[in-house]
């Protein structure tokens, strides 16, 4: 007999609301699937998608039991990336320095999910402090790709993507600073949504780079992601000063045609170095869009090549400031180090040296350097000027009558663990995603086929706060591609 977890979010909500299924039974099965994914009984390596699991299922369901029976996510189990603050479970950020940290408050999105009837089942694996593209930098071991456990699920939100792709839950939340929802969604063959900056409250999201960070949504299908997006989006002036005072439009809609829609294919996102099979799958998506009535137009975003260098100045600079709070005094791990001359400094050094992993340390050092006297103008100020140029590129294209852009999400399918050891090469896996973060635009990845069994994603980028238009394209592509999106 098929499980409620194997259907859509809408079907599950209908079953719970009608009494045909119970939130408790669904959550119990979801948590059982977590345990099975890590058992290794089928000869596979543990999926390791979760850092913490709420085994007190009755209490987890009860935490979301108030309110109307007609709630939007009634009975839906949902996983949260472990840098989103919760009261019932620890928030480690994948780091030893916060290994036992339990937040004294919950993120705004968590409160919205509970009010909508969703059950928080656990916290998922991530690269430490969301700094990475593979989850190989997690202090608690990497998550694995359900399609091939020798390969990465992407990062930094790889655990959330793996949980959805493995059928543990239909939806999950992650976070985005430079592609950390869209890239794992592409690698795992699911839908991943990054909102416009300010569309979803960041209150309770542990900061990495505050001007780039977003909370994003994973879904097995476009409609699954849309239902969660509608619940968690909206203004939050009380808690988040960067929250946009823009009432969101409902993104959930019926799949339809794209008559009158102009989709741009940016030349810079289809370089000669792009995997030919990835190019082919994305071009198939453009053909599908044309079949639905869209006009396809070639466009240019000339400053795209500067996006990764600019991002890896701006993001580490903001990270160096945000992570200075982890000093062994206020919260988190404290390592005592004897030093008669300067005991406080010795404690700081020992705590941060033991608590932070190599990638976080690398980015803190880089960020501190580019903000230091004599280098601020040469690096940080110039990177911010490049960011303005990238914003202007997008504004010019959208002003020309293009409604959205269609691009590859990643240059290749998921790579094997250990295949990329050079940090620069790893950073370049984000080459097609960092631009939307720099320009504060909504973007999402949708499945568009496979290469030798490995999923490939196509990316849709829309003007700021045009999420409904972006979802319109995603619904149409999913409907037109059908099973092809998940096969060849």
pTM of the predicted structure, to 2 decimals: 0.96
Q: Is the pLDDT of residue 69 over 70?
A: no
Tokens linked to 18 = 């009608």
What angle in degrees, to the nearest 10, is found between the helix axes of 382-399 and 307-322?
120
Do residues 189 and 450 lie in contact, with contact meaning Cβ atoms separated by under 8 Å? yes
Do residues 307 and 444 lie in contact, with contact meaning Cβ atoms separated by under 8 Å? no
- pLDDT reported for residue 42: 66
User: Mean pLDDT score of the chain, rounded to an integer?
Assistant: 94
For residues 137, 54, 165, 457, the Cα torsion angle rounded to the nearest 10 degrees is -50
107-138: per-residue pLDDT in tens?
999 999 999 999 999 999 999 999 999 999 99
Show which residues are catalytic: 81, 156, 180
Measured over the CA atoms of residue 265, residue 266, residue 272 and residue 273, the dihedral's sign is: negative
d(CA 430, CA 448): 18
428-463: per-residue pLDDT in tens?
999 999 999 999 999 999 999 999 999 999 999 999
Bridge partners of 454, per DSSP, are 451
282-313: per-residue pLDDT in tens?
999 999 999 999 999 999 999 999 999 999 99
d(CA 217, CA 233): 10
Domain 4-256+414-486 sits in CATH 2.40.50.140: no
Q: Is the pLDDT of residue 67 over 70?
A: no
The values of phi and psi at residue 369, to 5°, are -65, -50
How many residues does the structure list for the chain?
A: 488
Q: What is the mean pLDDT of residues 158-185?
A: 98
Q: Is the pLDDT of residue 481 over 80?
A: yes
CA distances 441 to 179, 198, 394, 412, 448, Å, are 12, 10, 9, 23, 22
- How many CB atoms are located within 10 Å of the residue 386 CB? 18
- pLDDT reported for residue 1: 41
Q: What is the mean pLDDT of residues 2-23?
A: 93
């Amino acid at each position: 007999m098929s499980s409620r977890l194997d259907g859509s979010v809408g079907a599950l909500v209908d079953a719970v609301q009608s009494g045909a299924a119970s939130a408790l039974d669904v959550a119990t099965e979801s948590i059982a699937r977590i345990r099975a994914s890590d058992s290794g009984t089928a000869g596979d390596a543990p999926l390791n998608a979760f850092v913490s699991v709420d085994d007190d299922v009755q209490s987890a369901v009860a935490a979301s039991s108030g309110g109307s029976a007609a709630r939007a996510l009634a009975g839906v189990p949902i996983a949260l990336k472990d840098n989103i603050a919760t009261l019932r479970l620890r928030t480690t950020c994948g780091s030893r320095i916060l290994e036992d940290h339990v937040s004294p408050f919950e993120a705004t999105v968590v409160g919205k999910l509970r009010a909508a009837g969703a059950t928080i089942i656990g916290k998922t694996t991530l690269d430490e402090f969301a700094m990475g593209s593979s989850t190989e930098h997690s202090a608690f071991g990497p998550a694995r790709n359900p399609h091939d456990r020798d390969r990465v699920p992407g990062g930094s939100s790889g655990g959330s993507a793996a949980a959805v792709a493995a059928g543990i839950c239909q939806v999950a939340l992650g976070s985005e600073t430079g592609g950390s929802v869209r890239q794992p969604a592409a690698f795992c063959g699911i839908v991943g949504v990054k909102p416009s900056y300010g569309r979803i409250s960041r209150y309770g999201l542990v900061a990495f780079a505050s001007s780039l960070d977003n909370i994003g949504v994973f879904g097995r299908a476009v409609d699954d992601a849309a239902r969660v997006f509608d619940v968690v989006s909206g203004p939050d002036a009380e808690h988040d000063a960067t929250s946009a005072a823009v009432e969101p439009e409902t993104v959930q809609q019926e799949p339809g045609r794209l008559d009158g829609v102009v989709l741009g294919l940016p030349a810079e996102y289809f370089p000669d170095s792009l995997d030919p099979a990835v190019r082919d799958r994305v071009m198939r998506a453009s053909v599908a869009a044309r079949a639905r009535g869209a006009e396809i137009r070639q466009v240019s975003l000339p400053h795209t090549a500067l996006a990764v260098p600019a991002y890896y100045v701006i993001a580490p600079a903001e990270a160096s400031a945000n992570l200075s709070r982890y000093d062994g005094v206020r919260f988190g791990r404290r390592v005592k180090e004897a030093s008669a001359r300067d005991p406080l400094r010795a404690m700081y050094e020992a705590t941060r040296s033991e608590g932070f992993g190599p990638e976080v340390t690398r980015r803190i050092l880089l960020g501190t350097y580019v903000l230091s006297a004599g280098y601020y103008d040469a690096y940080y100020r110039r990177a911010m000027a490049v960011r303005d140029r990238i914003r202007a590129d997008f504004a010019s294209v959208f002003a020309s009558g293009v409604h959205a852009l269609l691009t590859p999400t990643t240059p290749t399918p998921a790579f094997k663990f250990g295949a990329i050891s050079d940090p620069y090469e790893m950073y370049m896996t984000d080459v097609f995603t960092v631009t939307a973060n720099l320009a504060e635009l909504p973007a999402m990845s949708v499945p568009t086929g496979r290469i030798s069994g490995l999923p490939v994603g196509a990316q849709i980028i829309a003007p700021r706060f045009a999420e409904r238009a972006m979802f319109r394209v995603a619904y149409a592509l999913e409907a037109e591609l059908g099973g092809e999106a998940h096969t060849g």
